Amino acid sequence: MAAVTEAPPLAPAPEKKPPRKRGRLVPYWLLLPGILWLIVFFALPMIYQASTSVQTGSLEEGYKVTWHFATYWDALSEYWPQFLRSVLYAAAATVLCLVLGYPLAYLIAFRAGRWRNLIMVLVIAPFFTSFLIRTLAWKTILADSGPVVSTLNTLHVLDVTNWLGWTSGDRVLATPLAVVCGLTYNFLPFMILPLYTSLERIDGRLHEAAGDLYAKPWTTFRKVTFPLSMPGVVSGTLLTFIPAAGDYVNAELLGSTDTRMIGNVIQTQFLRILDYPTAAALSFILMAAILFMVTFYIRKSGTEDLV
């Protein structure tokens, strides 16, 4: 038989420490090496860079912190066209990535059937060919005498883009169009993968339910599919815009001096001209601008739990 009674008031038993208390330090030991790495090689450099940006001096005599904030002003007033260009090119590439990437992500998620895995592999596989080699391939594709340019010429597309200022003369290479095209190409997978992830989570029956409730396919897309894929859209656009805005490879390989982006300026200042304060200030402005835009964008789109 079992017995139950109301428990008598317990005599104050000698406090026995449970033996598992030492486990409290475990998370800190787990975090320590990695976080230390990030502090020393990510956070600390930011501080060094902030300090460098307000230093004056020269390579020969050394640099000193003089709180010379004028560097920021000088850098901005001299290089604002490159800043503006970076934002515009990155924004254009992001929009293009979304427009081009969405159908492919949708195709993989809902229409690919047994081809799904193969298409996924084909989307990811180019990653394994150095992106520089692939970017160089665009030089061939967009070559002045190549089939793409001559087709565009015959169709008078180039006349339109010339008029818009995206291209000049009979060329595509060394124009803004080529740079945006390269940026779009390079960051397209970063748009497709998050889009696919959020589309794949959508229950296919929702489409049927929407159809059952008198929604036409396009309405279903607008009212059901697209809103549900918003997390993917937000992280995809961020993953495209951020690296695109700081990129200098496409502008260097596919563009000309008229398409230089802020990344090119920072790279030149740092590695060739060796004007460290200006380079640090520019890089700081870029970082601040991007953090500001990203925060604003995340607030606006209401998805704050991206990580």
Partner 1 sequence: MTTTDNSGDVRLSGISKTYGAFTAVHPLDLTVPQGSFFALLGASGCGKTTTLRMIAGLEEPTGGTVHLGDQEVTHLPPYKRPVNTVFQSYALFPHLDIFENVAFGLRRRGIKSVKKQVEDMLDLVQLGEQARKKPHQLSGGQQQRVAVARALINHPKVLLLDEPLGALDLKLRRQMQLELKRIQTEVGITFIHVTHDQEEAMTMADTVAVMNAGRVEQLGSPADLYENPNTTFVANFLGTSNLIEAEVDTKNGDDIVLKAGGGKLVLPEARCSAPTTTGGKVLVGVRPEKISLTHADDAGEIAENRNRITGRIADSSFIGVSTQYVIDSPVCPEFEVYAQNIDRDTRLVPGAEVVLHWNPAHTFGLDAAQDIDAGVAEVEEDAA
Partner 2 sequence: MSVLNWLKRHLVVIAGLLTLGYLLLPNVVVTVFSFNKPKGRFNYQWQQFSTDAWKDPCGVADMCGSLSISLQIAFWATIGATVLGTMIAFALVRYRFRARGTVNSLIFLPMAMPEVVMAASLLTLFLNLGAQLGFWTILIAHIMFCLSFVVVAVKARVMSMDPRLEQAAQDLYAGPAQTFLRVTLPIAAPGIAAGALLSFALSFDDFIITNFNAGSTVTFPMFVWGSAQRGTPVQINVIGTAMFLVAVLLVLSSMLIGNRRNKQKA
Q: Which residues bind partner 1 (CB under 8 A)?
A: 1-8, 10, 16, 18-20
Q: Per the structure block, which two tokens stand in for 53?
A: 């940006």
Structure-token pair, residue 198: 């959020």
Residue 247 is classified by DSSP as: -
Cβ 183 vs Cβ 244: under 8 Å:
yes
Picked from partner 1, partner 2, none, the partner binding residue 6 (CB below 5 to 8 A depending on kind) is partner 1
Choice from 57, 88, 98, 270 touching partner 2 (CB under 8 A): 270
Q: Which listed option, partner 1, partner 2, none, makes contact with residue 278 (CB within 5 to 8 Å by class)?
A: none
x/- site string to partner 2, residues 60 to 99, per CB under 8 A? ----------------------------------------
Q: Residues for the chain: how many in total?
A: 307
- The least CB distance from residue 12 to partner 1, in Å, is 11
Residue 201 region by backbone torsions, left for phi larger than 0, else alpha for psi between -120 and 50, else beta = alpha
Rounded to whole angstroms, the Cα distance separating 294 from 303 reads: 11
From CA 84, how far away is CA 171, in angstroms rounded? Answer: 23
C-alpha 109/C-alpha 99 separation (Å) is 16
- Structure tokens, 26: 């475990």
Nearest approach in angstroms of CB 19 to partner 1 is 6
- The partner in contact with residue 19, picked from partner 1, partner 2, none with C-beta cut-offs of 5 to 8 angstroms by kind, is partner 1
3 binds, among partner 1, partner 2, none (CB under 5 to 8 A by kind): partner 1
Interaction partner, residue 125 (partner 2, partner 1, none; CB < 5-8 Å by kind): partner 2
Out of 70, 76, 84, 125, the only residue in the binding site for partner 2 (CB under 8 A) is 125
Q: Residue from 7, 205, 271, 272 that binds partner 2 (CB under 8 A)?
A: 271
The residues facing 58 across adjacent strands are 62
Which residues, other chains included, contact 20 with Cβ-Cβ below 8 Å and sequence gap of 6+?
none
Q: Which does 1 bind (CB under 5 to 8 A by kind): partner 1, partner 2, none?
A: partner 1
Nearest CB to partner 2, comparing residues 1 and 84: 84
Q: Which does 280 bind (CB under 5 to 8 A by kind): partner 2, partner 1, none?
A: partner 2
Helix (H, G, I), strand (E, B), or coil: what is residue 124? helix
> What's the CA gap between 188 and 98, in Å, rounded?
8
CB of 7 to partner 2, least distance (A): 27
Nearest to 158 by CA among 183, 134, 175: 175
Long-range contacts of 61-66 (CB under 8 A, 24+ apart): 63/276, 63/277
> For residues 16 and 272, which CB has a smaller minimum distance to partner 1 in the complex?
16
Nearer to partner 1, 8 or 34 (CB): 8
**Binding to partner 2, residues 23-62 (CB under 8 A):** 26-28, 30-31, 33-35, 37-39, 41-46, 48-49, 52
Residue 162 CB neighbour total at 10 angstroms? 17
- Nearest approach in angstroms of CB 83 to partner 2 is 12
Smallest separation (angstroms) from partner 1 to the CB of 25: 18
CB of 9 to partner 2, least distance (A): 33
Instruction: Name 56's bridge partners.
Output: 64
